[in-house]
Amino acid sequence: MKRLSAIAAFLGLMALTLVARAELPDAKLATVLKEVGVDQKLNEQVPLDLEFVDENGTTVTLAKYFGDKPVILNAGYFECPMLCSQVTNGLVGAMKMINLDIGRDFNVLTVSFDPREKAPLAAAKRQNYLGSYGRPGAEEGWHFLTGEDKNIRALMDAVGYRYTWDEKLGQYAHAAAIMIITPEGRMSKYFYGIEYSARDLRLGLVDASKGKIGNIADSVLLLCYHYDPSTGEYSMTILTLLRIAGLLTVFLLGGFVSLMLFREFRARRLAERNAGVGG
Protein backbone atom coordinates (compact mmCIF):
# COMPACT_ATOMS: atom_id res chain seq x y z
CA MET A 1 0.00 0.00 0.00
CA LYS A 2 2.83 2.40 0.88
CA ARG A 3 4.54 1.59 -2.39
CA LEU A 4 1.36 2.40 -4.30
CA SER A 5 1.03 5.72 -2.44
CA ALA A 6 4.63 6.57 -3.23
CA ILE A 7 4.12 5.74 -6.91
CA ALA A 8 0.93 7.82 -7.00
CA ALA A 9 2.72 10.75 -5.40
CA PHE A 10 5.62 10.46 -7.83
CA LEU A 11 3.31 10.36 -10.82
CA GLY A 12 1.41 13.34 -9.43
CA LEU A 13 4.59 15.33 -8.98
CA MET A 14 5.68 14.42 -12.49
CA ALA A 15 2.33 15.62 -13.80
CA LEU A 16 2.62 18.91 -11.94
CA THR A 17 6.16 19.35 -13.25
CA LEU A 18 4.99 18.73 -16.81
CA VAL A 19 2.18 21.25 -16.34
CA ALA A 20 4.67 23.76 -14.98
CA ARG A 21 7.01 23.17 -17.90
CA ALA A 22 4.14 23.58 -20.33
CA GLU A 23 2.81 26.79 -18.75
CA LEU A 24 5.96 28.48 -17.45
CA PRO A 25 8.87 29.84 -19.46
CA ASP A 26 12.12 28.01 -18.75
CA ALA A 27 13.57 31.07 -16.98
CA LYS A 28 10.52 31.33 -14.70
CA LEU A 29 10.57 27.60 -13.93
CA ALA A 30 14.27 27.75 -13.07
CA THR A 31 13.59 30.67 -10.71
CA VAL A 32 10.76 28.79 -8.96
CA LEU A 33 12.83 25.64 -8.51
CA LYS A 34 15.80 27.66 -7.25
CA GLU A 35 13.65 29.09 -4.46
CA VAL A 36 12.60 25.63 -3.24
CA GLY A 37 14.66 23.27 -1.10
CA VAL A 38 16.11 22.51 2.32
CA ASP A 39 19.28 24.07 3.70
CA GLN A 40 20.42 22.01 6.66
CA LYS A 41 21.12 24.16 9.72
CA LEU A 42 22.26 21.51 12.13
CA ASN A 43 22.61 22.65 15.75
CA GLU A 44 21.11 26.07 14.93
CA GLN A 45 18.72 27.48 17.52
CA VAL A 46 15.05 27.78 16.57
CA PRO A 47 13.51 31.09 17.78
CA LEU A 48 11.10 29.72 20.39
CA ASP A 49 9.59 33.13 21.10
CA LEU A 50 7.78 33.17 17.73
CA GLU A 51 3.99 33.37 18.05
CA PHE A 52 1.54 31.10 16.24
CA VAL A 53 -2.11 30.13 16.59
CA ASP A 54 -2.94 26.56 17.59
CA GLU A 55 -5.84 24.42 16.38
CA ASN A 56 -8.10 25.88 19.12
CA GLY A 57 -7.50 29.45 18.01
CA THR A 58 -5.21 30.22 20.96
CA THR A 59 -2.09 32.32 20.43
CA VAL A 60 0.97 30.41 21.64
CA THR A 61 4.75 30.64 21.42
CA LEU A 62 6.83 27.75 20.13
CA ALA A 63 8.44 27.50 23.57
CA LYS A 64 5.22 25.87 24.81
CA TYR A 65 6.09 22.68 22.92
CA PHE A 66 9.76 22.45 23.93
CA GLY A 67 11.68 21.82 27.13
CA ASP A 68 11.60 18.11 27.92
CA LYS A 69 10.94 16.24 24.66
CA PRO A 70 12.33 16.24 21.11
CA VAL A 71 10.02 17.71 18.50
CA ILE A 72 9.28 16.61 14.93
CA LEU A 73 8.59 19.60 12.66
CA ASN A 74 6.30 18.84 9.74
CA ALA A 75 6.05 21.91 7.47
CA GLY A 76 3.48 22.27 4.70
CA TYR A 77 0.08 23.78 4.06
CA PHE A 78 -3.27 22.19 4.79
CA GLU A 79 -4.89 22.75 1.38
CA CYS A 80 -1.92 21.37 -0.57
CA PRO A 81 -3.32 19.28 -3.45
CA MET A 82 -0.92 16.35 -2.96
CA LEU A 83 2.62 16.52 -1.59
CA CYS A 84 1.93 17.76 1.95
CA SER A 85 -0.55 14.98 2.68
CA GLN A 86 1.91 12.42 1.31
CA VAL A 87 4.63 13.74 3.63
CA THR A 88 2.33 13.68 6.67
CA ASN A 89 0.98 10.23 5.77
CA GLY A 90 4.56 8.97 5.49
CA LEU A 91 5.34 10.44 8.89
CA VAL A 92 2.27 8.79 10.43
CA GLY A 93 3.27 5.45 8.91
CA ALA A 94 6.77 5.65 10.40
CA MET A 95 5.50 6.81 13.82
CA LYS A 96 3.07 3.88 13.99
CA MET A 97 5.98 1.45 13.49
CA ILE A 98 7.98 2.63 16.52
CA ASN A 99 7.13 2.09 20.18
CA LEU A 100 7.75 5.72 21.12
CA ASP A 101 4.54 7.70 21.59
CA ILE A 102 3.51 11.23 20.68
CA GLY A 103 2.86 13.19 23.83
CA ARG A 104 4.81 10.84 26.09
CA ASP A 105 8.17 10.57 24.31
CA PHE A 106 8.11 13.35 21.71
CA ASN A 107 5.93 16.12 20.28
CA VAL A 108 4.95 16.87 16.68
CA LEU A 109 4.30 20.31 15.20
CA THR A 110 2.59 20.50 11.84
CA VAL A 111 3.00 24.13 10.77
CA SER A 112 1.27 25.73 7.79
CA PHE A 113 3.41 28.16 5.82
CA ASP A 114 0.28 29.61 4.15
CA PRO A 115 -0.72 32.69 6.20
CA ARG A 116 -4.26 32.52 4.76
CA GLU A 117 -4.99 29.26 6.57
CA LYS A 118 -6.64 29.54 9.99
CA ALA A 119 -7.40 27.50 13.10
CA PRO A 120 -10.65 25.78 11.96
CA LEU A 121 -8.85 24.18 9.02
CA ALA A 122 -5.93 23.24 11.30
CA ALA A 123 -8.36 21.61 13.76
CA ALA A 124 -10.01 19.55 11.01
CA LYS A 125 -6.67 18.33 9.68
CA ARG A 126 -5.46 17.51 13.19
CA GLN A 127 -8.56 15.44 13.94
CA ASN A 128 -8.04 13.48 10.73
CA TYR A 129 -4.39 12.65 11.42
CA LEU A 130 -4.91 11.88 15.10
CA GLY A 131 -7.48 9.32 13.99
CA SER A 132 -5.02 7.86 11.51
CA TYR A 133 -2.28 7.62 14.16
CA GLY A 134 -4.74 6.03 16.58
CA ARG A 135 -2.80 6.08 19.87
CA PRO A 136 -4.21 7.51 23.09
CA GLY A 137 -2.53 10.62 24.43
CA ALA A 138 -1.38 11.86 21.02
CA GLU A 139 -3.71 14.87 21.25
CA GLU A 140 -1.47 16.20 24.03
CA GLY A 141 1.61 16.20 21.82
CA TRP A 142 0.55 16.79 18.20
CA HIS A 143 -0.44 20.34 17.32
CA PHE A 144 -1.33 22.05 14.06
CA LEU A 145 -0.27 25.68 13.89
CA THR A 146 -1.08 28.65 11.68
CA GLY A 147 0.34 32.15 11.89
CA GLU A 148 1.27 35.48 10.40
CA ASP A 149 3.55 35.56 7.40
CA LYS A 150 6.46 37.25 9.23
CA ASN A 151 6.52 34.58 11.96
CA ILE A 152 6.11 31.74 9.47
CA ARG A 153 9.02 33.01 7.40
CA ALA A 154 11.17 33.52 10.50
CA LEU A 155 10.63 29.89 11.50
CA MET A 156 11.15 28.48 8.02
CA ASP A 157 14.31 30.55 7.55
CA ALA A 158 15.62 29.32 10.91
CA VAL A 159 15.17 25.66 9.97
CA GLY A 160 16.31 26.13 6.36
CA TYR A 161 13.02 25.23 4.68
CA ARG A 162 12.52 27.14 1.40
CA TYR A 163 9.21 27.42 -0.44
CA THR A 164 7.56 29.84 -2.86
CA TRP A 165 4.10 30.74 -4.12
CA ASP A 166 3.52 30.17 -7.82
CA GLU A 167 0.93 32.60 -9.14
CA LYS A 168 0.57 30.77 -12.45
CA LEU A 169 -0.28 27.41 -10.88
CA GLY A 170 -2.03 28.87 -7.86
CA GLN A 171 -0.14 26.74 -5.33
CA TYR A 172 3.06 26.56 -3.32
CA ALA A 173 6.20 24.88 -4.59
CA HIS A 174 8.04 23.28 -1.69
CA ALA A 175 10.28 20.42 -0.60
CA ALA A 176 9.33 17.09 0.98
CA ALA A 177 11.07 16.74 4.33
CA ILE A 178 10.59 16.47 8.08
CA MET A 179 12.95 17.74 10.78
CA ILE A 180 13.80 16.69 14.32
CA ILE A 181 14.56 19.37 16.90
CA THR A 182 16.09 18.85 20.35
CA PRO A 183 14.10 19.67 23.52
CA GLU A 184 16.17 22.87 23.78
CA GLY A 185 15.13 23.92 20.28
CA ARG A 186 18.24 23.11 18.25
CA MET A 187 18.07 21.54 14.82
CA SER A 188 19.13 17.90 15.06
CA LYS A 189 18.12 15.81 11.99
CA TYR A 190 16.58 16.19 8.52
CA PHE A 191 14.79 13.34 6.73
CA TYR A 192 13.76 13.64 3.08
CA GLY A 193 11.02 12.25 0.86
CA ILE A 194 7.47 11.07 1.50
CA GLU A 195 8.31 7.79 3.27
CA TYR A 196 10.56 7.56 6.31
CA SER A 197 12.49 4.68 7.81
CA ALA A 198 11.06 3.76 11.21
CA ARG A 199 14.59 2.88 12.38
CA ASP A 200 15.97 6.24 11.30
CA LEU A 201 13.08 8.13 12.87
CA ARG A 202 13.49 6.30 16.17
CA LEU A 203 17.26 6.76 16.24
CA GLY A 204 16.83 10.43 15.36
CA LEU A 205 14.43 10.96 18.26
CA VAL A 206 16.64 9.05 20.71
CA ASP A 207 19.69 10.96 19.51
CA ALA A 208 17.93 14.34 19.82
CA SER A 209 16.81 13.47 23.35
CA LYS A 210 20.41 12.56 24.29
CA GLY A 211 19.27 9.12 25.39
CA LYS A 212 16.44 10.31 27.64
CA ILE A 213 14.02 8.19 25.65
CA GLY A 214 14.57 4.74 24.13
CA ASN A 215 16.47 1.84 25.64
CA ILE A 216 19.91 0.21 25.82
CA ALA A 217 19.45 -1.35 22.38
CA ASP A 218 18.96 2.14 20.90
CA SER A 219 22.18 3.32 22.54
CA VAL A 220 24.05 0.38 21.03
CA LEU A 221 22.58 1.10 17.58
CA LEU A 222 23.61 4.76 17.85
CA LEU A 223 27.17 3.58 18.45
CA CYS A 224 26.96 1.39 15.36
CA TYR A 225 25.15 3.82 13.07
CA HIS A 226 26.10 7.31 11.96
CA TYR A 227 23.73 10.01 10.70
CA ASP A 228 24.70 11.18 7.23
CA PRO A 229 23.41 14.75 6.65
CA SER A 230 23.84 14.46 2.88
CA THR A 231 21.33 11.60 2.64
CA GLY A 232 19.28 12.20 5.77
CA GLU A 233 19.77 8.58 6.81
CA TYR A 234 21.57 6.53 9.42
CA SER A 235 24.21 4.17 8.06
CA MET A 236 26.68 1.82 9.65
CA THR A 237 30.00 3.63 10.10
CA ILE A 238 33.22 2.44 8.47
CA LEU A 239 34.87 2.52 11.89
CA THR A 240 32.20 0.18 13.20
CA LEU A 241 32.74 -2.20 10.29
CA LEU A 242 36.49 -2.17 10.97
CA ARG A 243 35.87 -2.89 14.65
CA ILE A 244 33.56 -5.77 13.78
CA ALA A 245 36.09 -7.12 11.29
CA GLY A 246 38.84 -6.81 13.92
CA LEU A 247 36.78 -8.67 16.52
CA LEU A 248 35.95 -11.42 14.02
CA THR A 249 39.66 -11.74 13.19
CA VAL A 250 40.54 -12.03 16.88
CA PHE A 251 37.86 -14.66 17.43
CA LEU A 252 38.94 -16.65 14.39
CA LEU A 253 42.61 -16.55 15.37
CA GLY A 254 41.73 -17.42 18.94
CA GLY A 255 39.62 -20.32 17.76
CA PHE A 256 42.37 -21.56 15.43
CA VAL A 257 45.04 -21.38 18.16
CA SER A 258 42.75 -23.14 20.63
CA LEU A 259 42.03 -25.90 18.11
CA MET A 260 45.74 -26.42 17.39
CA LEU A 261 46.60 -26.53 21.11
CA PHE A 262 43.80 -29.01 21.72
CA ARG A 263 45.02 -31.25 18.89
CA GLU A 264 48.58 -31.08 20.20
CA PHE A 265 47.41 -31.90 23.73
CA ARG A 266 45.33 -34.84 22.50
CA ALA A 267 48.20 -36.17 20.38
CA ARG A 268 50.58 -35.96 23.36
CA ARG A 269 48.15 -37.78 25.66
CA LEU A 270 47.62 -40.46 23.02
CA ALA A 271 51.37 -40.89 22.62
CA GLU A 272 51.85 -41.21 26.40
CA ARG A 273 49.06 -43.77 26.58
CA ASN A 274 50.58 -45.84 23.76
CA ALA A 275 54.00 -45.66 25.38
CA GLY A 276 52.54 -46.93 28.68
CA VAL A 277 50.80 -49.84 26.95
CA GLY A 278 54.02 -50.80 25.14
CA GLY A 279 56.08 -50.72 28.39
Q: Is 111 a residue whose pLDDT tops 60?
A: yes
- Mean per-residue pLDDT for 106-110? 98
- Cβ neighbours around 82 below 10 Å, total: 16
Mean pLDDT of 238-243: 50
Residue 1 or 272, more confident? 272
- Cβ atoms of 247 and 220 within 8 Å: the answer is no
pLDDT 10s digits, 54-81? 999 999 999 999 999 999 999 999 999 9
* Residues 125 and 259 placed together within one structural domain of the fold: no
Classify residue 178: in a domain, yes or no: yes
Which of 203, 221, 236 is the last residue in one of the domains?
236
Do 60 and 178 share a domain, yes or no? yes
> Which residues on neighbouring strands pair with residue 243, listed in sequence order?
none
CATH of the domain at 182: 3.40.30.10
Question: pLDDT grade, residue 17 (50/70/90)?
Answer: very low
User: Does one domain contain both 144 and 69?
Assistant: yes
Is residue 21's pLDDT more than 90?
no
pLDDT at 145 over 90: yes
> Distance between CA 241 and CA 130 in Å, rounded?
40
Distance CA 97, CA 43 (A): 27
Note whether residue 265 is domain-resident. yes
Q: Name the residue among 193, 200, 189, 243 with its Cα closest to residue 225.
A: 200
CA distance 111 to 145: 5
Beta bridge partners of 226: 235
Residues 254, 179 within the same domain: no
Domain assignment of residue 47, yes or no: yes
Instruction: Identify which has the larger pLDDT, 204 or 253.
Output: 204
Same-domain pairing of 229 and 243: no
- List Cα–Cα distances, 164 to 9, 77, 113, 178, 197, in angstroms: 20, 12, 10, 18, 28
pLDDT digits (tens, 9 = 90+) for 159-178: 999 999 888 888 999 999 99
Residues 221, 266, single domain; the answer is no
Q: Is 205:70 a contact under the CB 8 Å cutoff?
A: yes
Q: Please state the domain count of the chain.
A: 2
Choose among 78, 76, 35, 48: nearest CA to 187.
48
Q: Taking 80 as the threshold, does the pLDDT of residue 28 lie above it?
A: no
Q: Verify that 231 and 262 share a domain, yes or no.
A: no
Residue 230 belongs to domain spanning:
36-236
Rounded CA gap, 266 and 272, in Å? Answer: 10
Confidence of residue 25 (pLDDT cuts 50, 70, 90): low
- Are 98 and 136 in the same domain? yes
